[in-house]
Amino acid sequence: MKRVALISVHTSPLAQPGTGDAGGMNVYVWQTALKLAERGIEVEIFTRATSSTDEPSVSAADGVLVRNVVAGPFEGLDKRDLPTQLCAFAAGVLRVEAMYPPGHYDLVHSHYWLSGQVGWLARDRWGVPLVHTAHTLAAVKNASLADGDEAEPALRQVGEQQVVDEADRLVANTEAEAAQLISIHHADPGRVDVATPGADLDTYHPGSRASARAELGLAPDETVLTFVGRIQPLKAPDVLIRAAAPVIDAARGTGRPVRVLIVGGPSGTGLARPTSLIDLAGELGIADAVTFLPPQRPERLAQVYRASDLVVVPSYSESFGLVAIEAQASGVPVLAADVGGLGVAVSDGVTGMLVAGHRIDDWTAALRTALSDPERLARMGVAAATHAQKFSWDHTADQLLESYHRALMSFDIAGGARADRPTPVPTAAQTARTTRRWGRRRSGVRA
C-alpha cells in the first residue's frame, strides 16, 4: 500500500490559521491532502508536536494521517529557532518509515525550506523523489520589508538554495514565483511546475450580508472594511488602519459610518507589540470604529467575508494570497497590494483593485475610489465570485498530481536518482494511470 509523505515542520495543518506561525500554508497543506486522499492516495503529514497532549498520530480525515513528531520543547520555539531541531525532527520521520517494509512511501512533498531540508534526507534514505513547495522565498521577502520588520537570515537563504538544488520537482504558486526560483536560485526551468492555490468553494460562497452582520454583531448600515490574517508587519494591517482613518472621519454623521474589522492574532515580529494596532487606532482617534476579532474557523470566516463591503490585503509580500480568493469566492471585492501572487488572485478593475506600493495617501485614495460608487462595488462582488471559481483545491490537486507524475517519471528514467534534464509533460491519461496505480496499491493490488 503506497502513500505520499507531506512534510510541514513548523506548522500543523490542524492549527488555526491567523495566529502564531499558522497561515495560508496550513490551509494549502490540509486542503491538498484532502483532495489527494479523495483521489485514492493515502497521505501522511509529518509536523512538529507543539504540546505534550499531541497524540503521536491523528487520523484527521479519511486517507489523511497527521504524525506529530517530537523535536525540541513543545512550546517557546519560534520558527527561526527550528533549524536547531531539524536533526531531531528528521530522526523522528525516518524512524516512522523504518517500522515498515521498504517502499512504504512513493514520494515526499516538503513545504517551506525547513521541511525541504528534512525531505532531502528522506528522499535519499527512502529512494523516492522529492517534490518541494517553498511558499515564500527569503530574497523576495527581504526585498520588500515593512518598516521595522526583520530581514530573513542568511541561514534561510542558504537552506533554500540547497533545497532548490536537490529537489526533483519544484512547485510554485504562480508563473511569477516560478520565474523567481529560476532567476534568484538558478532552478532548472525543466524541473519547475506551477500549481495555483485555491479556495474551499463549498465553504466560501456568496450569502446574505444582513444575516452575516447580525451573526457577528455588526451594524447593518455600516461600511465594513476587513483585514484577515496574522498581525505582523509583513501583512501590513497598520496600512489599512492608517489609510482608513480619514475615510472614517469623513463618514461620521453621514448615516453611513465606516468600520474597520481586523481578524487575526499576533505572529512573527508582531508578537513583540501585540497591542500595537489597538494603540494605533487610539492614537488616530478611531478606536470606536475599529473592531478586533480573533482568528475564525472556516464557516465563521466565511460569514466575516460576507459581512464585508471590501476586503483589504495590504501585504508587503504574498506568494499568492488565499484571503483574496476566499473573499472573492464569498462575493466580496478585494483591495490588494500589487505584490507577488495578488496580481493573479485579483483581477484589477474587475474583481477589485490593486495598489502599487504602500504610501498611506495612495491607499486612502484607493479606499475612497472603491467606496465612491456602490453600484460598481456591487458589480465587482458579482465578478469576484465568478473569478474565484477558477481557483479550486481540486484544480490544485490535479496540478500537483501532474508534478508528482513528472517526478516519478524522472526517477524511473534515472534508476532512482534525479535525471538532470527536463522531463516529458504527462498527458491527462498518464496522470490518470498514476492515480489508478496508487489507488490499486492502496487496496493491496499491485500495479
Q: What is the pLDDT of residues 67-108, one digit of tens each?
A: 999 998 988 787 888 999 999 999 999 999 999 999 999 999
**β-strands 334-337, 310-313: how paired?**
parallel
Helix (H) or strand (E) holding 177: helix 175-185
Mean pLDDT value across residues 186-193: 97
Q: What is the pTM of this model?
A: 0.88
Residue 447 confidence (pLDDT) above 50? no
Residue 365 phi, psi dihedral angles, 5° rounding: -60, -40
As annotated, the binding site for Mg(2+) includes 305-306, 308
In the chain, pLDDT over 90 holds for what percent of residues?
A: 78
Spatial separation of the C-alpha atoms in residues 195 and 371, rounded to whole Å: 34
- Beta carbons of 307 and 213 less than 8 angstroms apart: yes
Cell 508587503 appears where? 316
Return the pLDDT at 50.
87
End-to-end, the C-alpha distance of the chain in Å comes to 11
Asked whether residue 374 carries a pLDDT value surpassing 50, the answer given is yes
Do β-strands 57-61 and 258-263 pair in parallel, antiparallel, or remain unpaired?
unpaired
Closest CA to 314 of 362, 355, 262: 355
Which residues partner with 32 through β-bridges?
A: none
| 93 or 421, higher pLDDT | 93
| Top-confidence range, 133-147, 178-192, 421-435 | 178-192
Report whether pLDDT(429) > 80.
no
pLDDT band at 444 (very low <50, low <70, confident <90, very high): very low
**pLDDT score at 147:** 83
Out of 162-166, 263-267, 413-417, 419-423, give the one with best mean pLDDT: 162-166
Report how far apart, in Å, the C-alpha atoms of 266 and of each of 54, 86, 236, 319 are.
23, 25, 12, 20
Which residues sit in the known binding site? Answer: 10, 16-17, 21-26, 79, 112, 136, 156, 230, 235, 296, 305-306, 308, 318, 326
Distance of CA 316 to the CA centre of its chain: 15
pLDDT band of 428, cuts 50, 70, 90: low
Examine the pLDDT at 347 and tell me if it is beyond 50: yes
Sign of CA dihedral 211, 212, 215, 218: negative
240: confidence class by pLDDT, cuts 50, 70, 90: very high
Q: Please, what is the average pLDDT of the chain?
A: 90
Least Cα distance to 335 among 353, 360, 319 occurs for 353
Closest-CA residue to 46 (of 104, 93, 111, 106): 93
Over residues 270-329, the pLDDT tens digits come to 565 668 899 999 999 999 999 999 999 999 999 999 999 999 999 999 989 999 999 999
Place of cell 454623521: 253
Q: If DSSP codes are grouped into helix, strand and coil, which group holds residue 143?
A: coil
Of the two residues 180 and 16, the one the predictor is more confident about is 180
CA distances from 261 to 1, 213, 292, 294, 304 (A): 48, 12, 6, 11, 9
Q: What is the average pLDDT across 155-159? A: 95
Locus of grid cell 456568496: 206
How confident is the model at residue 442, as a pLDDT? 44
Tell whether the model's pLDDT for residue 330 goes beyond 60.
yes
Cβ(311)–Cβ(323) below 8 Å: yes
Which residues have C-beta within 8 Å of that of residue 223, sequence separation ≥ 6?
251, 256, 257, 258, 259, 309, 310, 371
Rounded to whole angstroms, how far apart are CA atoms 254 and 307? 20
| pLDDT in the model for residue 421 | 43
Residue ranges for the known binding site for 1D-myo-inositol 3-phosphate are 10, 21-26, 79, 112, 136, 156
Per-residue confidence (pLDDT) for residue 427, from 0 to 100: 53
Average pLDDT estimate for 350-375: 97
Per-residue confidence (pLDDT) for residue 265, from 0 to 100:
86
User: Rounded to the nearest 10 degrees, how much is the dihedral formed by the CA atoms of 16, 19, 21, 22?
Assistant: 30
**% residues pLDDT > 70 (the chain):** 89
pLDDT higher than 50, residue 443: no
- β-bridge pairing 64-69 and 57-61: antiparallel
pLDDT over 80 at 269, yes or no: no
- Name the residue with cell 521498504: 102
Decide if 43 contacts 64 (C-beta within 8 A): yes
3-state percent breakdown (helix, strand, coil) of the chain, nearest 5: 45, 15, 35
Segment 199-210 mean pLDDT: 97
Give the pLDDT of residue 415. Answer: 63
Q: Which of 54-58, 234-238, 409-413 has the lowest mean pLDDT?
A: 409-413
Q: Which is more confident, 35 or 52?
A: 35
Check residue 23 and give its pLDDT. Answer: 77
What residues have CB less than 8 Å from 424, skipping those under 6 apart?
Answer: 406, 409
Q: Average pLDDT of 348-355?
A: 98
Give the phi and the psi of residue 224 in degrees, each rounded to 5: -110, 120
pLDDT at position 440 over 90: no
Mean pLDDT lowest for which of 31-45, 234-248, 254-268?
254-268
Q: Could you tell me which residues are annotated as the binding site for UDP-N-acetyl-alpha-D-glucosamine? A: 16-17, 24, 230, 235, 296, 318, 326
Rounded distance between C-alpha atoms, residue 383 and residue 377, angstroms: 10
Take residue 110 and report the three cell numbers written for it: 516538503
pLDDT band at 355 (very low <50, low <70, confident <90, very high): very high
